Amino acid sequence: MLAGILAGCSRDQAGKDARTESVPARTPIVTVSADQAVSPVPPWQAPVIVVTDDNAAKLRKQAASALDEDRLFGDAEAAIPLYLALRAHAPEDAAIRRGLQRAVVALVKQGDAELAGIDDDPLSLRRAHEVAAVARVAAPGDEQVAVFLERLDRADEAQEANRLGEDELNADRLGENGNGGAMAHFREALRLRPRDVRAMQGMAAAESTLIRRAELSAAADDYATAARWLDQAGKVRPGFAAVDDARGRIAMQRMVRVGRLRDMGLAALSREDGINEARSHLATLLRIAPSADPAAAELRQRIDLATHYGLFRPGQVFTDAIRNGGRGPQMAVIPHGAFRMGAGEGEPGEDSERPARNIRFERGLAVSRFEITVGEFRRFVLASGHRSRSTRRGYSTAYDERSGNFVRSGNVDWQSDYAGNRATDSMPVVHVSAKDATAYAQWLSEQTGQRYRLLSEAEFEYALRAGGRGLYPWGGGMPPDDTGNFTGALDKSPSGRRWSNAFTGYGDGSWGPAPVGRYAANAFGLHDMDGNVSEWVADCWHDTYRRAPRGGEAWVNPGCRARVVRGGSWASSPEQTRSSWRMSGEANSTTARTGFRVARDI
């Protein structure tokens, strides 16, 4: 509704200063047409501005100044009320018409800015309506005003569609089958106003609801229904990662559940009366596991074996579940048996490797197939907060390519490789002390409920020899191809260095530790028992084997500072690669040549 604009003045006003006055407040009036939504603001009424021949020039300047300052309609000193009053006073004045047109252009621009801000400011839409109310009075027939009003109508309709969608969403009526519901309203809002944040949030909420339904189905072991809900969710916002992430989580949950059922079945087999319980777990596992799942095959085989062989068997490879999630290191069951430990008569060796003695193990043992990796140690550090010795003191002993020596290097710890660079997760962890290795084994014990520990020296040599009796684990002479990571005369460093004391004619393609499992396993299924990195064992250092335990357990003195290192490394001479070789190491020392592996009692 246009407000009256008074032009001209009585004679007794002539010559007086220009003045303005506001029309007294009126009751808001809301107009509604068939094709226009109800406006949340009343129609705008221009304040009464008295224009005379005497004050017209001054009011022109005020109008132009207000326009330059973007004060368009807020009061009687704003640009549009002034130009409207001036136009009524001088309808044919082209400058006034141009000024009003500029003001209308600025007004529409302001309205568009408010429309653009709807997603960030809930009051923007109301302010856009205030602009529209002014535009309808200032330029009712202007084309750009008409276009702006159409945009405003679409924004209103989009907001109404959003409101209806949110009502449906709160009532859990999503419309996932294409029959109305929340998503139909949100899609309508997006059609009217592409990229509408409220509508996109509504679609994301609908997607989240479908994902939650899938998660609840998965929690009830109904993975087929979970997959159907995820398929529906995938149609809501194609190209977004939420559904793929949910598939990954549910797949992981399914894998963990399958693993848990497998573990419960194996735990039941440890009891004499647990076979029926294990079969029940297997039945559930078969119902929820993907086809040809190895966990189902393993549990079925173990149930068959349990009747005759108990829980474990020689050569078996297994992992334990970790309470915080995931699995422990791969463990291989080595058979019980006997061997002669130490350097035999006429065999090269140090006094510390003698006297040789017979050791018998009455029970099998599980030994980690590989040296503990950087990735496995990382999981321990992140879960436990353990700070390794090299991390706390800020350095370790690393290989220096320029000099070819091992030197103390700063900022080197368990995350580093042999040269102090960042190590990959598949590399054997080095720069760890004997105490770090023991802490890792203790953490595994806490996480799995099983007894993990470092190998005793006797167990290590037994596992290293793997039934052999020769000078080296493979017998005598040069290592066969692919035996391990040793000092070979054919090996060379990145800068072209070669070993001065090495196995003639042998090359393994590595300088520094290699990723675990690269070389062939021994007869017990263990990799890198000799070569790659030397390993901490549980024993305290003793100069000879006199008075050593006969049962193969670790020889420990409380508080001992010197520990035993067994197995040659990538930088060990052939002499240090012998099966009986052993070395003393200070318990807190860390180097680029020493890592560890773990044992588990069975």
Share of the chain above pLDDT 70, in %: 93
Q: What are 427's strand-pairing partners?
A: none
Give the whole-angstrom CA distance, residue 563 versus residue 583. Answer: 8
Per-residue confidence band for 27, with pLDDT thresholds at 50, 70 and 90: very low
The tens digit of pLDDT for each residue in 90-105 reads 999 999 999 999 999 9
pLDDT value at residue 269: 87
Which amino acid is it at 101? Q
The tens digit of pLDDT for each residue in 231-240 reads 999 999 999 9
The tens digit of pLDDT for each residue in 110-142 reads 999 999 999 999 899 999 999 999 999 999 999
Q: What are 398's strand-pairing partners?
A: 407
**Residue 504 pLDDT > 60:** yes
pLDDT value at residue 313: 84
Closest CA to 523 of 475, 487, 582, 565: 475
Q: What is the mean pLDDT of residues 429-436?
A: 98
pLDDT value at residue 306: 73
The tens digit of pLDDT for each residue in 173-213 reads 999 988 899 999 999 999 999 999 999 999 999 999 999 99
The tens digit of pLDDT for each residue in 412-428 reads 999 999 999 999 999 99
**Residue 66 pLDDT > 70:** yes
Q: What is the mean pLDDT of residues 16-25?
A: 34
Give the whole-angstrom CA distance, residue 571 versus residue 554. Answer: 26
Q: Using alpha carbons, list the distances in angstroms from residue 602 to 323, 329, 413, 549.
A: 19, 15, 33, 21
Given a contact cutoff of 8 angstroms between Cβ atoms, the answer to whether 444 and 438 are in contact is no
Given a contact cutoff of 8 angstroms between Cβ atoms, the answer to whether 278 and 306 are in contact is yes
pLDDT value at residue 305: 64
pLDDT value at residue 31: 32
**Residue 598 pLDDT > 50:** yes
The tens digit of pLDDT for each residue in 299-352 reads 998 887 676 445 788 899 999 999 989 999 999 999 889 999 999 888 899 999
The tens digit of pLDDT for each residue in 542-584 reads 999 999 999 999 999 998 999 999 999 999 999 999 999 999 9
pLDDT value at residue 4: 29
**Residue 372 pLDDT > 70:** yes
pLDDT value at residue 14: 32
Burial class of residue 207, CB neighbours in 10 A (0-12, 13-18, 19+): buried
Give the whole-angstrom CA distance, residue 368 versus residue 454. Answer: 10
Q: What is the mean pLDDT of residues 132-154?
A: 96
**Residue 25 pLDDT > 60:** no
| Total residues belonging to the chain | 602
Q: What is the dihedral of CA 504, 507, 508, 514, to 10 degrees?
A: 80
* Residue 592, number of CB atoms within 10 A of its CB: 27
- Encoded tokens for 18: 């220009």
Give the whole-angstrom CA distance, residue 602 versus residue 599. Answer: 10
**Residue 387 pLDDT > 70:** yes
282-289 own/partner pairs: CB under 8 Å, 24+ apart:
284/221, 285/258, 285/261, 287/221, 288/221, 288/223, 288/254, 288/257, 288/258, 288/261, 289/254, 289/258
The tens digit of pLDDT for each residue in 255-294 reads 999 999 999 999 998 887 898 999 999 999 999 987 788 9
Q: Using alpha carbons, list the distances in angstroms from residue 548 to 349, 352, 455, 545.
A: 18, 12, 16, 5
Q: What is the dihedral of CA 441, 444, 448, 450, to 10 degrees?
A: 0
Give the whole-angstrom CA distance, residue 272 versus residue 83. Answer: 99
pLDDT value at residue 294: 92
Give the whole-angstrom CA distance, residue 316 versus residue 331. Answer: 8
Give the whole-angstrom CA distance, residue 405 versus residue 584. Answer: 20
Q: What's the chain's average pLDDT? A: 91
- Encoded tokens for 591: 């180097």
pLDDT value at residue 307: 60
pLDDT value at residue 11: 30
Give the whole-angstrom CA distance, residue 132 versus residue 236. Answer: 35
Per-residue confidence band for 18, with pLDDT thresholds at 50, 70 and 90: very low
Q: Using alpha carbons, list the distances in angstroms from residue 193 to 146, 186, 188.
A: 17, 10, 8
The tens digit of pLDDT for each residue in 393-402 reads 999 999 999 9
**Residue 19 pLDDT > 80:** no
Closest CA to 577 of 498, 468, 464, 481: 464
User: What global pTM score does this model have?
Assistant: 0.53
